[in-house]
A and B are shown apart, each in its own frame.
Chain A
Amino acid sequence: MQPGAGGSAVRREGRAKLTGRALYVDDVAPPGLIHGVTIRSPVSRGTIRGLRFDPSLDWSEYTIVTAADIPGINIVKLIADDQPYLADRVVQHAEEPVLLVAHPDPMRAEAARRLITIDIDPLPPVLSMDEASEEFKRYSVVKGDVDRALSAADLVVVEGDYSTGAQEQLYIEPNGMIAVADREHGGVTVWGSMQCPYYIHGALAALLNLPEARVRVVQMETGGGFGGKEEYPTIIAGHAALLAWKSGRPVKMIYGRSEDMASTTKRHPSRTRHRTAVTRDGQLVAMDIDFVLDGGAYCTLSPVVLSRGTIHAAGPYDCPNVRVRGRVVKTNVPPHGAFRGFGAPQSIFALERQMDRVAQAVGLDPAEFRRRNFVRNGDTLAVGQTIREPVDMHALLQRALTLSGFAAKRAAFARANPSARVRKGIGLATFMHGAGFTGSGEVHLASVVTVEGAADGGVRVLAASTEIGQGTNTIFSQIAAEALGLEIDDIEIAQPDTAVVPNSGPTVASRTCMVVGKLVESAATGIRRTLVDSGYLPSTYTRAQFHHACERYIARFGDLRSTSQYTPPPNVRWDDETYTGDAYATYAWAAYVAEVSVDLVTWEIHVDDFVAVQEVGRVINPTLATGQIEGGVAQGIGWALYEDVVWREGRMANAQMTNYIMPTSMDLPPIRVYFEEVPYAGGPGGAKGIGELPMDGAAPAIFNAVAHATNLDPRDLPLTPERLLSLWAARHA
């Protein structure tokens, strides 16, 4: 028997994945399939004059779709109505889709790319945040009076500018969709790699001018997402559907790696300016933070990314005067979008590097400085949220310091470094991450989960939340099994298919376990109550009794279903107007320590050891949770040191796995993961969100460790050997 919640049940779909039987979108091929490709703008901004088709090809063999072929609205339904599926008159960024072609032979479909010319009159593009004048969104968080606080005498004021670059999600399965359209009866179905079936569902109805009931979206096994399959798959699904609609044939669109890297969303580049005032004994008095994101050419999810980044910008510290000004600007690069952490890694990177510099300015050890300023139960965060859950940052930090040998190593490295060719350093970061949608987001989503019992005693969980590797299937099974007192194998998780499952919201924002899992728990509990209240099941029962009760109940009533809809926890209030209140129902808290070596011969930085201590509520499945933390830290290490999107004229110049450098098995340290478990009443079995948290802490801990090792002051990410050499050369010039 597999354990319920609290045990490391094995991954439900693990066997299928390990034997190659799991089906991803490119693994299926409906009969009569044609292959679609996207023809994209080669320039960053301009006016489309026309299209030229090389006469050497017989274009009658191809299905060709332009903006003129769109039956509904040529706008990707998201936040702002600004992004077309296919550019019509103007292009706003390089790689913007302009037309679609499809052919039964994938090689001939590919060949079309080189034989279609889009004539464009170029316009001057905006290619950096500094040149940008248009804004998509602006937020302001104000607590106390920063200007007055900063004017007080006898304070130490530390300023600093920080920047981060774009980051590619680099899921190993590239994006892909299959679409089948039925024009006669008015309907479309898409299957594909995605995080959010219902985003696509609503969008396709508008694109094809169909009632939502005539649109069906099915998630296939998905080979990683990390946010990269949150919003962009809507565009691919739309493209595949348009080709299917026009051709009447099933259409497959699978992106090659290079196209996926160059064209789809990445993590927003950022620039953060800090001005921090502290007393001479290291008490935070004021934090003035200016946070800017590069949104790229269209709005996509940028306002929400900005919101999370802005709210997390002041961190887990108690400071009486805080001002955070956040804005996301428009440039003519491919739109940036969701990526694990969603703006928080950018602002936390700046903050945690700044905190080390402030500590240094007042002569305090970085750990001691943080201890003097941690938020405690009853304190108030920058957005005015009073912490009511028990939080003990001191304990988390202490555990991380002990496990990493922080104090002893800090002293030993400082002694050995001056004469060493390989310098060593150790650094830390302390931070929190809000679980679930920001502010009133969950109330607006109003997510729904259904659990149904079958006559054979099996139980099926119906939710649109996707398994993308993070463990949704297993966690939901454990939660339902525990709520019903059953075994995990008694639980089936329905494939996310909008014709079958209710809308449990998008699979994003560390919400699946905590928010949707809670709905699974309550819907499953509803099944039990129904059976008990109707007299078919005693209040304590065996598995056999449960099966028997299901059988009899269904024989009598036809079906056995229980549905739960999100309701906010009591006392959680948020004001969208003033941007104050309970930004998140709860937070995960963490202290991370990185130990690095810096080789002064090659300027290579290697992370030698990594300790990640966090409080994420109750841990439902330790193996999966550990895997989530390790994977997030690994992406954080990649972001900090290796992953550099090289832009040339607004295009990604290194859109190949050979040249965009993610860590291999030889590049990563042992990542040591520890949990403090403090059950959270609002989560299933006491669990909170976990997925994004580990993305936040690695980069600042590493930068602080490099600063310790080298006495340099790195503030721009990624910290490639080339950048580190430049810093060293400037210092020693």
Chain B
Amino acid sequence: MARLLDVLRAAGLTGTKEGCGEGECGACAVLLNGALVNSCLTPLAHAAGAAITTIEGLASDEQLHAVQQAFLDCGGAQCGICTPGMVLAAVSLLRQNPNPTEDAVREGLAGNLCRCTGYGRIFAAVLEACRRMPQATA
């Protein structure tokens, strides 16, 4: 049995990080057919034929995704290790709820642990991204 996480990383997609290996920290989160999953808990067999978005697939060329740009502008990334998973969790949240309240942002990101920020700059970034994005095109 192989984990999706290891397969992604071995393929050179090392933006997906391993923080705990037990689905607790969210650093390995990716989108599997659009749904946020922890790749450390996803067997490779469950990704067969699926569309997977990792952090590497979010920006197009040099144009950052609105969520990435807002993280950059608002100070949402510090050490950066939770950042790829956090950004994907935020993207997933905004796709389902394009205008979240701060409480909804808190809940949507609760599976992604950050030890650096205290989350404040991250909430600011997600809400800022939401303001900047054309409606519902996250």
Contact = CB atoms under 8 A, between A and B. Distances in A.
A and B touch in the complex (CB under 8 A): yes
Contacts of B121: 623, 626-627, 630
Interface in B15-61: 15-22, 24-25, 27, 54-56, 58-59
A665 interface: yes
A21 interface: yes
Instruction: Give the dominant DSSP class at A's interface.
Output: loop
A11 interface: yes
B111 to A, nearest CB: 8
A221 B80 contact: yes
A721 interface: no
Given A172-B82, A626-B121, A666 B25 contact: no
B101 interface: no
Contacts of A15: 64, 72
Interface residues of B, number: 53
B115 A23 contact: no
B138 interface: no
A630 B118 contact: yes
Instruction: Give the dominant DSSP class at B's interface.
Output: loop
B79 A172 contact: yes
A24 B81 contact: yes
B109 A665 contact: yes
Contacts of A20: 13-16, 54-56, 84
Interface string B60-102: 0000100010011111011111111001000000000000000
A18 B21 contact: no
Nearest to A624: B75
A656 B22 contact: yes
Contact of A18 (B14, B19, B81, B87): B87
Contacts of A17: 77, 80, 83
A446 interface: no
B79 A658 contact: no
A223 B77 CA distance: 11
Contact of A19 (B9, B15, B78, B120): B15
A635 interface: yes
Given A18-B87, A173-B81, A634 B22 contact: no
23 contacts: A11-B72, A14-B77, A15-B72, A18-B77, A19-B56, A20-B15, A22-B80, A171-B115, A172-B17, A173-B79, A221-B80, A223-B17, A223-B80, A225-B79, A469-B78, A469-B80, A471-B78, A634-B118, A635-B118, A662-B115, A664-B111, A665-B110, A666-B107
Q: Which 4 A-B pairs have the closest CB atoms?
A: A20-B15, A469-B79, A223-B81, A17-B80
Interface of B: 9, 13-22, 24-25, 27, 54-56, 58-59, 64, 68, 71-75, 77-84, 87, 105-107, 109-123
Interface of A: 8, 10-11, 13-24, 26-27, 169-174, 221-226, 256-257, 468-471, 623-624, 626-627, 630-635, 656-658, 662, 664-666, 668, 670-671
